[in-house]
Amino acid sequence: MRPLIWFRSDLRVDDNTALSNATRSADDGAVALFVISPAEWKAHDYAPARIDLMLRSLAELSRSLDALGIPLLIRAAPTPEQVAATVVKACIDSRCDAVFFNREYEVNEQRRDRAVIDALRAKNIHASPWHDQVVMEPGSLRTGAGNVYTVFTPFKRAWIRLAGEQGGVEPRPSPRKVASCDVRPDPVPESVAGFECPRAVSTLWTAGEKHARTRLTSFIEERGRAYKDRRDIPSVDGTSGLSPHLAIGTISPRRCIAAAVAANAATKSPLDAGSEGLVTWISELIWREFYVHIVSGFPRVCMHKAFQQGTDAIRWNDDEAKFRAWTSGRTGIPIVDAGMRQLAATGWMHNRVRMITAMFLSKNLFIDWRRGERHFMTNLVDGFLASNNGGWQWSASTGTDAAPYFRIFNPVSQGERFDPDGVYVRRWVPELSSLGAEAIHDPSSLSPLALARLDYPMPVVDLGRSRLAAIEAFKKLRPA
Ligand SMILES: Cc1cc2nc3c(=O)[nH]c(=O)nc-3n(C[C@H](O)[C@H](O)[C@H](O)COP(=O)(O)OP(=O)(O)OC[C@H]3O[C@@H](n4cnc5c(N)ncnc54)[C@H](O)[C@@H]3O)c2cc1C
């Protein structure tokens, strides 16, 4: 058999289920394929930073595959509908008789993959989809009543129980070197029209699975144990920074969890006991799993619908000026502006600040969370539908296991609590850098003269009044 391995959001040779299995069946060489699909990427609002990281990682993947005897083909599909024909043609041209790939669970991806499987069958080519994107396959965890879990804590308990029954979280066997074949690899493009990434952003993100593994090791060894205490402080490098790699698959969630477990091996139950830092980190990776299971079990969340359908009746504010103030980091609320500027400048934002900025948009400005979700996606280097949608619907109180609608963060006190000295705000909002810790999170409390000296806006919204208005609007949806 000569398999074709179709890479999508799994750009690695390590711990890759489809690749590992394909090379075990390859007795006449193997070929790899990546499809450049700009219309599909635009429809998914992928950020230039994410595409840039993906292309640079693909170049490294091509070299790693070459060392295994597998040439990587690059083909273009101008529209999503052309993907199926593109895969079939690549397969026929390279005389492959099976296509191996790892499943993706979003609605459009599932539709695309069904079309590909049908098109392959029509040509008598075997399709071999594998489960890989999360550790526990969507559908494998069910409540006692047989439903998809919609609350995180019981999901996590069931997840850990199943991992125990399966003997832990083990990465897949390494792929085998295959007999070389007469197919030549294609050059990987450096950029794709419509996704040009500014150099200043591109240079921030080192591409490829080798770097992702190094980052994993240094995080586990140097920062993992302190994660619980440091993960909420946006001015410190307290988290793994692996989200861009998990999004494009230059590292697998199994590899991450296995590394945390190995470092926590002294305890009996290393997934949820032992080092508080490491088990908290594992728990965050299980949130990622939870949201992928939600996307798979409730496809409406991929179609711009609220998980809590009643909240679709909310009449959000259509205030363009306020939305622009939010996107450009000029709301007059320092921690919000710092986060939005970090996103614009780097393609990434700290998790605590993602929650603060998302809650500010959806509760204080009362602007539709879908607009914020889209803005994030079009800018994030780690844009990942399941986690982005999950995070936004959590913040807007429209999602599964979401923040209760009456528990609205006050962004000023959040800033004072998680950035007490103002280090994060000073880094991203330099016009406030002369302020001391006592005023930096609320410059509107300064005297008019002191305020006038700063080139910084007054808050675009009254935090107290907007909070009460949001609670009232939600209350109307759920009469007591
Ligand atoms: C409004 C909003 C939007 C978000 N959008 C995305 C997104 O598009 N892509 C994305 O990967 N994450 C998203 N997150 C989750 C989280 O903010 C990022 O995963 C995290 O900041 C990435 O940094 P890290 O890799 O250093 O995380 P770490 O703290 O080191 O965590 C390790 C990994 O666990 C996963 N993870 C951590 N926190 C969460 C979480 N709350 N939900 C789901 N998975 C989590 C991520 O894969 C992360 O890389 C969003 C959160 C919010 C509140």
CATH code where residue 66 lies = 3.40.50.620
Amino acid code (one letter) for 360: F
**Residue 294, Cβ density class (10 Å: 0-12 exposed, 13-18 middle, ≥19 buried):** buried
In the prediction, which pLDDT does 478 show?
63
Dist. CA 246 → ligand 1 center (Å): 10
- Of 277, 298, 319, the one marking the end of a domain is 298
Q: Is residue 421 part of a domain?
A: yes
In the prediction, which pLDDT does 480 show?
41
CATH number for the domain spanning 385: value is 1.10.579.10
227 CA: nearest ligand 1 atom: 29
Q: Is residue 363 part of a domain?
A: yes
Q: Are residues 292 and 334 in the same domain?
A: no
Q: Are residues 352 and 279 in the same domain?
A: no
Q: Are residues 317 and 290 in the same domain?
A: no
Q: Are residues 452 and 318 in the same domain?
A: yes
CATH number for the domain spanning 253: value is 1.25.40.80
Q: Is residue 175 part of a domain?
A: no
Q: Are residues 462 and 327 in the same domain?
A: yes
Q: Are residues 319 and 401 in the same domain?
A: yes
Strand-pair partners of 119: none
388 CA: nearest ligand 1 atom: 5
pLDDT in tens, 331-356: 999 999 999 999 999 999 999 999 99
Q: Are residues 229 and 352 in the same domain?
A: no
In the prediction, which pLDDT does 269 show?
87
Q: Is residue 135 part of a domain?
A: no
Q: Which mutation among 281, 340, 351 tests ligand 1's pocket best, with the greatest number of atoms within 8 A of CB?
A: 351
Residue ranges making up the domain that contains 400: 309-477
Q: Are residues 91 and 61 in the same domain?
A: yes
| pTM for the whole structure | 0.97
Quickly tell me which residue has 């090379």 as its tokens. Answer: 23
Quickly tell me which residue has 């295959």 as its tokens. Answer: 178
CA-CA distance, 457 to 452, in Å (whole number)?
9
Q: Are residues 406 and 456 in the same domain?
A: yes
3-state helix, strand, coil in the chain (%, to 5): 50, 5, 40
- Of 298, 328, 347, the one marking the end of a domain is 298
- Of 248, 266, 298, the one marking the end of a domain is 298
Dist. CA 351 → ligand 1 center (Å): 6
Q: Is residue 415 part of a domain?
A: yes
Q: Is residue 303 part of a domain?
A: no
H/E run at residue 156: helix 152-165
Tell me which residues are annotated as active site.
284, 287, 316, 351, 369, 392
In the prediction, which pLDDT does 402 show?
86
Q: Is residue 239 part of a domain?
A: yes
Q: Are residues 294 and 316 in the same domain?
A: no
User: Which residue is closest in CA terms to ligand 1's atom 29?
Assistant: 239
Q: How many domains does the chain have?
A: 3
In the prediction, which pLDDT does 479 show?
52
Q: Are residues 362 and 409 in the same domain?
A: yes
Q: Are residues 244 and 377 in the same domain?
A: no
H/E run at residue 34: strand 31-36
Q: Is residue 109 part of a domain?
A: yes
| Contact (Cβ atoms closer than 8 angstroms) between residue 379 and residue 51 | no
How remote is the C-alpha of 116 from its chain's centroid? 25
Please identify every stretch of the chain with a pLDDT value under 70, giving residue numbers as ranges.
Answer: 266, 478-480
In the prediction, which pLDDT does 43 show?
95
